Amino acid sequence: MVVYEATVYTGDRIQATTLNSVHIKLVGTDGESDRTWLKSLVIFRGSVSTYTVSCPNSLGRLLLIELDKRQFGFLPDDAWFPDKVEIKSPEEDVYTFPIHCWISDQETHRYREGKALRIFDESHSLGQYARQQELSQRSLEYDWEFYGPGIPYTIKADGAMTLPDEVQFSFTKTTEFAFTAATGLAELRLKGLVDNQENWKTLDDINGVFRNKDTPLSDYVQEHWAEDWLFAYQFLNGVNPTLIRRCKTLPENFPVTDDMVFIPDGSNLLNELERGNIYLCDYKNLDGMPANIINEKQQYLTAPLVLLHKRSDDKLMPIAIQLKQTPAEDNPIFLPTDSAYDWLTAKIFVRSADFSEHQLNAHLLRTHLLAEVFAVSLLRNLPMVHPIYKLLIPHTRYTLQINELARERLIGPAGVFTLFAASGREALPKILARSLSSITYRSLCIPDDIADRDLQDLPNFYYRDDGLQLWSIIFKYVQRVIKYYYKSDDEVQRDSELQTWIGDIFKHGFLSQLQTGIPQNFTTVSELIKFATMVMFTCSCQHAAVNSGQYDYGGWMPNTPATLQRAPPTKKGTTSKSTILETLPPINVTAQGMATVWLLSRRSSDFVSLGDYPEYHYTEETPRQLQTDFKSDLDKLSIMINNRNKDLEIPYTYLDPKNVENSVAI
């Protein structure tokens, strides 16, 4: 008889304790143990308990363990959250089995030993079998669902609560999320705003909404929103830094002439175009999109063009705005020299177009939906023991569930966005499909994206500065981990699971559209490194950049109106204070929008910041050390960003690594 020591680590989290009886079976190269009861009436959260498993003979090298739990007598059935199990063999070898997920059913669950293995490293038939079994089980649990023509596939599920336990929110997050949503709405209901379809009488009245929920920046935005420099600043460091590009030649459909615009210091438009001081934001993605009907009223959504000038004092300022794509007499080019109301109205139309472009393209499609594709594809195609699974799984935390919730509560038939945004209902799937058809791999990789938009030297562009630093820190970490596991291009080519993984992403995420430039397979180690860097960057940094400032910049509604109620002016001199109030969203739409951006900008108490790996998927020393190095690089960057921010009028905090969440989780 030989004895194995099994040490069980239970997660220290709410409701992780189990009153059920837990059984374990050890499987090794030379045999398996009996299914053995871990003799405890209760396994407490945060506990570390050691049990014995006896076998007639040694089991050889341990490959996997099986765990199951059963309801015990009259005690209630419950869920248990084991972190890991360590087994000490009679030969004194220690094997670690990472788990880090809920077990709430009575099924048998298999967990592989922690050392990362590629498919061709599996030397034992049992390991190969377990690998196949795991993937076929997962491909049933994580299936694709067609969401709409031209739109990435999503996870197949009947709502957020039906997803497998391992990808669900923790108890803490579920209760907090429900609480925050309820308190925001309760406050609005108390003030009788949700049912009030009237227009605002004055801008000051809007101030009363969410009075106690302001952030320092939302206060600042309220004070300065109508100023040109803040309008321009937001294209660099607001919630949508993805649109602006340098303009060397004016687009044909934007006939701004020299005599229209005022360029200080005796220069003119032509000179400034040549010198590279002119920038363009073009909302052509929204052209021709049918605007929503809200409160039984037709709404308006335009596809503006904005021209900006970088002055010699490095300030970026808007110099011309055309609200529709086709130049015409009834589509004037608005200028800062027009009446104050004309110019402000033009800027409001741009900010409202930006709301739709930002939420649907920059935020929903390019972070949430892509992160979901990466998550589903990872779960379907790579087993837990695969080194790339271990690398990327922390960056998929809560993504499937938050997206299911978004489909139920935001963009579903009764969702807030569907009902209250200009681009809700009919336009929504059209904008998503158009956005996907123009997405490129290069635009998802910030060094390429900045180069393509020719923005390398634009001053005061903190999204770019911090984003590029983050990219290079992530790249370094990913490169070191991947090079530890893949010594040659040949190993990448031979890894059939990796090839299926990327093929699945190309097909279900990018709908096999070749012009995206997304790889269909990997032929080199460097291709794999770049792609994995892009996945990590998109799920963490890019999402933080487009998500975290939603209340800062959207909390003061006139700065980011979700919809507009009047058509854009067709000639100059027709606007006034009252036309602006008639154009802005009515009271109920404002209230819904502000409650939503408040909820989506909150940080939950179980927030995991970039580079924190509380769950140890890697058990080997080298990748664990690389994670420590990665974290220390991020800490250094955080200090640099904080120092820089001390001198800024508006500190740029969204890409401070401490504020970046590991995954798309809100």
Residue ranges that bind Fe ion, judged by CB under 5 A:
547
- For residues 575 and 342, is the Cβ–Cβ distance under 8 A? yes
Q: How far is the CB of 427 from Fe ion (least distance, A)?
A: 20
Taking the CA of residue 48 as centre, how many other CA atoms within 13 Å lie in the half-sphere pointing to its CB?
5
**Long-range pairs for 574-583: beta carbons < 8 A, 24 or more residues apart:** 574/342, 575/339, 575/341, 575/342, 575/344, 575/345, 576/341, 577/341, 579/341, 579/345, 580/341, 580/344, 580/345, 580/348, 581/199, 581/200, 581/201, 581/202, 581/203, 582/199, 583/345, 583/348
Q: How far is the CB of 128 from Fe ion (least distance, A)?
A: 39
Q: How far is the CB of 612 from Fe ion (least distance, A)?
A: 19
With respect to Fe ion, which residue has the nearer C-beta, 215 or 331?
Answer: 215
With respect to Fe ion, which residue has the nearer C-beta, 315 or 602?
Answer: 602
With respect to Fe ion, which residue has the nearer C-beta, 439 or 545?
Answer: 545
Q: How far is the CB of 547 from Fe ion (least distance, A)?
A: 4
Q: How far is the CB of 666 from Fe ion (least distance, A)?
A: 5
399's tokens: 């993504």
With respect to Fe ion, which residue has the nearer C-beta, 234 or 345?
Answer: 234
CA end-to-end span of the chain: 52
With respect to Fe ion, which residue has the nearer C-beta, 33 or 547?
Answer: 547
With respect to Fe ion, which residue has the nearer C-beta, 277 or 547?
Answer: 547
Q: How far is the CB of 146 from Fe ion (least distance, A)?
A: 23
With respect to Fe ion, which residue has the nearer C-beta, 547 or 663?
Answer: 547
Q: How far is the CB of 406 from Fe ion (least distance, A)?
A: 8
Kindly report the number of other CB atoms within 10 A of residue 220's CB atom: 16
Please give the Cα distance from 283 to 38 (Å, whole number): 62
List, in order, residues 6 or more apart from 626 with CB less than 8 Å away.
Answer: 477, 480, 481, 484
Please give the Cα distance from 70 to 52 (Å, whole number): 19
Taking the CA of residue 547 as centre, how many other CA atoms within 13 Å lie in the half-sphere pointing to its CB?
26
Q: How far is the CB of 408 from Fe ion (least distance, A)?
A: 15
Q: How far is the CB of 603 from Fe ion (least distance, A)?
A: 12
Q: How far is the CB of 532 from Fe ion (least distance, A)?
A: 22
With respect to Fe ion, which residue has the nearer C-beta, 589 or 665?
Answer: 665
With respect to Fe ion, which residue has the nearer C-beta, 455 or 545?
Answer: 545
DSSP state of 244: -
454's tokens: 């020719």
Helix or strand or coil: residue 160? helix
Q: How far is the CB of 244 from Fe ion (least distance, A)?
A: 21
With respect to Fe ion, which residue has the nearer C-beta, 469 or 547?
Answer: 547
Please give the Cα distance from 256 to 262 (Å, whole number): 11
With respect to Fe ion, which residue has the nearer C-beta, 302 or 547?
Answer: 547
Please report how the helices 125-141 and 370-381 are oriented relative to each other, as an axis angle in degrees rounded to 10.
140
Q: How far is the CB of 402 from Fe ion (least distance, A)?
A: 7
With CA atoms as reference, report the closest residue to 593 among 227, 369, 268, 299.
Answer: 299
Per the DSSP assignment, residues forming a β-bridge with 10 are 82
List, in order, residues 6 or more apart from 465 with CB less than 8 Å away.
Answer: none
Please give the Cα distance from 400 to 542 (Å, whole number): 17
With respect to Fe ion, which residue has the nearer C-beta, 548 or 619?
Answer: 548
166's tokens: 């391992």
Q: Check residue 288 and give left, alpha or beta (phi > 0: left; psi -120 to 50: alpha).
A: left
With respect to Fe ion, which residue has the nearer C-beta, 484 or 607?
Answer: 607
Strands (E), 363-502: none
By beta carbon distance, the residue nearest Fe ion is 547
With respect to Fe ion, which residue has the nearer C-beta, 370 or 534?
Answer: 370
Q: How far is the CB of 534 from Fe ion (least distance, A)?
A: 18
Helix or strand or coil: residue 283? coil
Please give the Cα distance from 475 to 154 (Å, whole number): 27
DSSP state of 57: S
Q: How far is the CB of 550 from Fe ion (least distance, A)?
A: 8
491's tokens: 């190993």
* Tally of helices (H runs) and strands (E runs) in the chain: 23, 18
Q: How far is CA 62 from the centre of its chain?
A: 38
